[in-house]
């Protein structure tokens, strides 16, 4: 077998924050409001605005032992280590499952199923709700004029305790839910100066700060239920979110009028505020994360200290291998005017099959990796190059992706800035705050720069890979900073303290030399800049046709489907009406209608948000109506669709659905 490497260039891009957003269409309205019938949790006062919240339970200064073992590279306690700072976090909330998604006759059955689930099911659901606080805490400096970031501790240190023996069925904002109350506790460990820089109220021992949150009671399927009403795309390029990464953009203060490059909405303008959409479709939980500055405690610091430190007095980037495991396959239609096509991120136009994946670097040194201000007119060094298609600047030569398989692919990666997007370390060398943005770039010590699956062009095009019927396992590799444009060490400065630059072999499109900053690299800087992970590619299908892995439930999920018919022909633009009944009356099914591809000869295994129809087929049957779509990549004008089925209850087997056309 001939083995050829797919090289995927990775560029850093600056979003042009001055460009106005195009006219934005409105998303469909949510379900009509019902009568308000919310729970009445006990009230507490916050320093931001009054809200009702479930009061956190009392905890001691010492948190429970982390449920995840500390990594071997974690710095150990040293007798001469200067004292840092400790901050305890607590939150009380309730996370549940929305029964509204199911037909009324089935809801009692679903509630009984949920009541029998083990604690791990509810802890995982609580964890996903807690994740909805991360965006506002990580980018808190953009929310308050006089405050800094106040990130959550790494997830390995989250302690989640269920506070009821069994889940409860409640009505919240006129929605039927089964919920489990819980408490969340963790501890931040950082340097002595960070608490005051992050939040003045935490400057002294015993100081507290209450950060309010409005969260969906059911944390799953946020995009399916509320569209992009709760998505904050500020500073991100358009099309940065999807159904799987949407939690990382959750901001309950987003409103329809918040548009443009610095506003919440760049891709599409919703017609509701986030809080309205959540109350109307899911039910809202009002809670808060309480931060409390603790006295210094060596024993506690030793318990919660995590994060490798490989370089003292310098920056050092480490590729996070585990993040490559968050990968999935999608189908996407690429038109002839697509920026992805122009930038070489796909091998052609039409329907393409794409492997999306996370790519993350972690600064495991004790100093920030500093780039500094973005210079638009970079005529001297040519580091930032303007891209006409995306209307922003590229910072080039960051790294590469490699996919090892049968034949070469034409693909590329466009990112948008080198920025600190999360704090992965929890130790005295990792500050809570940093000055970095897309206009002033860098990665703080102990922080990560993360590019999530779902960001536009964060993929490798696998459309033309020859995959046998039983699938193909390939190695996905991320190589960071192979061209040494990022200083993993100490910058070389001239006698005036200014950065020294050196020429490289790279040229701009106009033939000008691209320079890079001179750097005294640390010994072995490249040893942790490469990571590989095997990835299995099925011959066809997307992640929608893969088994469910995270306890996904109900008709909105994007997993567990199987194809029933890959190409059903129809007349484009005409109404299609189908009568459907399950082959087995006791096993209700979900029928999803998707587009189909003439070039690929398969259906496109679409997500809920891209489906033409998505209907539950219970014992009494159902009528499905949709408009016949044009087959967008057909040589001659024609119409057609594909059908996928999945069991309504994930533990049941999929069954074919009996269909009859209605003229």
CB under 8 Å to 426, separation ≥6 — which residues?
153, 154, 157, 188, 189, 190, 304, 305, 306, 307, 446
Are 276 and 392 in the same domain? no
Length of the chain, please?
Answer: 663
Are 167 and 276 in the same domain? no
User: For 121-130, 144-153, 374-383, which range has the lowest pLDDT when averaged over its residues?
Assistant: 374-383
Are 407 and 484 in the same domain? yes
Output the pLDDT for position 194.
Answer: 98
Residue 504 in domain: yes
pLDDT tens by residue, 490-510: 999 999 999 999 999 988 878
Are 512 and 636 in the same domain? no
Are 320 and 451 in the same domain? yes
Residue 139 in domain: yes
- Which residue has better confidence, 540 or 69? 540
pLDDT band at 67 (very low <50, low <70, confident <90, very high): very low
Candidates 377, 370, 389; CA nearest to 441 is 370
Output the pLDDT for position 386.
Answer: 66
Domain range holding 194? 84-210+288-295
User: For 52-66, 258-272, 458-472, which range has the lowest pLDDT when averaged over its residues?
Assistant: 52-66
Are 9 and 98 in the same domain? no
pLDDT band at 78 (very low <50, low <70, confident <90, very high): low
CATH of the domain at 615: 2.60.120
With a cut of 70, say whether residue 38 has pLDDT above it. Answer: no
Are 192 and 260 in the same domain? no
Are 460 and 510 in the same domain? yes
Mean pLDDT of 105-127: 97
Output the pLDDT for position 395.
Answer: 66
Output the pLDDT for position 585.
Answer: 75
CB under 8 Å to 467, separation ≥6 — which residues?
537, 538, 539
Residue 33 in domain: no
Output the pLDDT for position 417.
Answer: 81
Residue 441 in domain: yes
With a cut of 50, say whether residue 366 has pLDDT above it. Answer: yes
Going along 298-368, which residue ranges are E strands?
A: 317-319, 327-334, 350-357, 359-363
With a cut of 70, say whether residue 170 has pLDDT above it. Answer: yes
With a cut of 50, say whether residue 3 has pLDDT above it. Answer: no
With 0-12 / 13-18 / 19 or more C-beta atoms within 10 angstroms meaning exposed / middle / buried, residue 52 is: middle
Are 398 and 503 in the same domain? yes
Residue 125 in domain: yes
Residue 565 in domain: yes
pLDDT band at 41 (very low <50, low <70, confident <90, very high): very low
Distance CA 649, CA 633 (A): 35
Output the pLDDT for position 388.
Answer: 67
Look up residue 159 and give its DSSP letter.
E
Of the residues 295, 319, 336, the one at which a domain ends: 295
pLDDT band at 405 (very low <50, low <70, confident <90, very high): confident
How many H helices and E strands in the chain?
A: 8, 36
The helix/strand/coil state of 395 is strand
pLDDT tens by residue, 208-226: 999 999 999 999 999 999 9
Output the pLDDT for position 244.
Answer: 97
Mean pLDDT of 372-384: 74
- Give the count of domains, the chain: 4
Are 635 and 589 in the same domain? yes
Mean pLDDT of 87-109: 97
Residue 500 in domain: yes
Tell me if 383 sits within 8 A of 395, measured CB to CB.
yes
With a cut of 60, say whether residue 62 has pLDDT above it. Answer: no
Output the pLDDT for position 44.
Answer: 32
Are 349 and 445 in the same domain? yes
Residue 35 in domain: no
Are 507 and 571 in the same domain? no
Of the residues 263, 295, 327, the one at which a domain ends: 295
Work out the mean pLDDT of the chain and round it to a whole number: 86
Q: What percent of the chain has pLDDT over 70?
A: 84
């Amino acid at each position: 077998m001939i083995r050829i490497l797919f090289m995927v260039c990775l560029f850093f891009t600056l979003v042009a924050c001055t460009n106005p957003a195009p006219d934005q269409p409105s998303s469909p309205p949510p379900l009509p409001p019902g009568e308000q019938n919310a729970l009445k949790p006990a009230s507490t006062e916050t320093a931001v605005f009054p809200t009702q919240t479930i009061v956190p339970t009392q905890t001691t200064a010492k948190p429970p032992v982390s449920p995840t073992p500390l990594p071997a590279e974690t710095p150990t306690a040293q007798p001469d280590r200067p004292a840092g700072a400790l901050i305890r976090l607590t939150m009380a909330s309730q996370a549940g499952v929305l029964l509204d998604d199911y037909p009324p006759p089935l809801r009692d059955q679903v509630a009984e199923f949920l009541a029998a689930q083990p604690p791990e099911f509810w802890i995982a659901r609580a964890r996903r709700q807690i994740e909805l606080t991360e965006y506002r805490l990580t980018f808190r400096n953009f929310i308050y004029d006089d405050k800094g970031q106040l990130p959550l501790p790494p997830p390995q240190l989250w302690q989640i305790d269920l506070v009821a023996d069994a889940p409860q069925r409640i009505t919240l904002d006129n929605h039927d839910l089964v919920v489990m109350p819980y408490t969340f506790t963790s501890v931040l460990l950082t340097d002595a100066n960070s608490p005051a820089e992050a939040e003045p109220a935490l400057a002294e021992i015993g100081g507290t700060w209450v950060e309010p949150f409005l969260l969906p009671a059911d944390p799953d399927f946020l995009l399916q239920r509320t569209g992009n009403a709760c998505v904050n795309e500020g500073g991100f390029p358009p099309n940065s979110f999807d159904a799987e990464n949407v939690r990382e953009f959750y901001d309950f203060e987003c409103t329809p009028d918040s548009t443009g490059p610095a506003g919440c909405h760049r891709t599409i303008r919703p017609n509701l505020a986030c809080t309205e959409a959540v109350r109307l479709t899911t039910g809202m939980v009002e809670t808060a994360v309480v931060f409390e500055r603790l006295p210094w405690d060596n024993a506690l610091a030793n318990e919660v200290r995590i994060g490798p430190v490989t370089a003292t007095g310098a920056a050092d980037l480490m590729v996070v291998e585990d993040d490559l495991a968050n990968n999935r396959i999608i189908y996407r239609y690429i038109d002839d005017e697509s920026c992805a096509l122009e930038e070489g991120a796909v091998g052609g136009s039409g329907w393409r099959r794409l492997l999306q994946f996370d790519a993350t670097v972690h600064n495991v040194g004790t100093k920030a990796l500093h780039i500094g201000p973005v210079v638009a007119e970079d005529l001297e060094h040519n580091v930032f190059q303007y891209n006409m298609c995306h209307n922003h600047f590229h910072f080039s030569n960051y790294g590469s992706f490699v996919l090892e398989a049968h034949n070469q692919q034409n693909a590329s990666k466009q990112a948008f800035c080198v920025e600190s997007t999360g704090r992965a370390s929890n130790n005295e060398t990792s500050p809570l705050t940093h000055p970095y943005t897309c206009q002033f770039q860098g990665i703080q010590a102990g922080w990560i720069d993360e590019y999530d699956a779902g960001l536009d062009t964060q993929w490798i095009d696998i459309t033309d890979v020859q995959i046998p019927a039983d699938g193909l396992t390939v190695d996905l590799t991320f190589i960071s900073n192979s061209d040494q444009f990022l200083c993993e060490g100490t910058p070389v400065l001239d006698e005036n303290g200014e950065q020294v630059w050196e020429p490289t072999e790279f040229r701009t499109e106009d033939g000008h030399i691209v320079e890079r900053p001179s750097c005294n690299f640390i010994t072995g800087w490249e040893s942790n800049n490469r990571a590989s992970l095997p990835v299995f590619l099925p011959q066809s299908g997307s992640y929608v046709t893969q088994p469910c892995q995270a306890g996904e439930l109900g008709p909105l999920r994007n997993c567990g489907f199987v194809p029933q018919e890959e190409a059903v022909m129809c007349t484009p633009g005409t109404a299609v009406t189908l009568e459907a009944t399950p082959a087995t009356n006791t096993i209700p099914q979900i029928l999803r209608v998707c587009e189909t591809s003439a070039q690929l000869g398969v259906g496109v295994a679409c997500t809920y948000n891209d489906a033409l129809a998505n209907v539950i087929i219970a014992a009494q049957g159902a009528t499905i109506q949709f408009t016949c779509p044009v087959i967008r990549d057909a040589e001659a004008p024609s119409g057609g669709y594909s059908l996928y089925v999945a069991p309504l209850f994930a533990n049941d087997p999929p069954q074919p659905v009996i269909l009859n056309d209605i003229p």
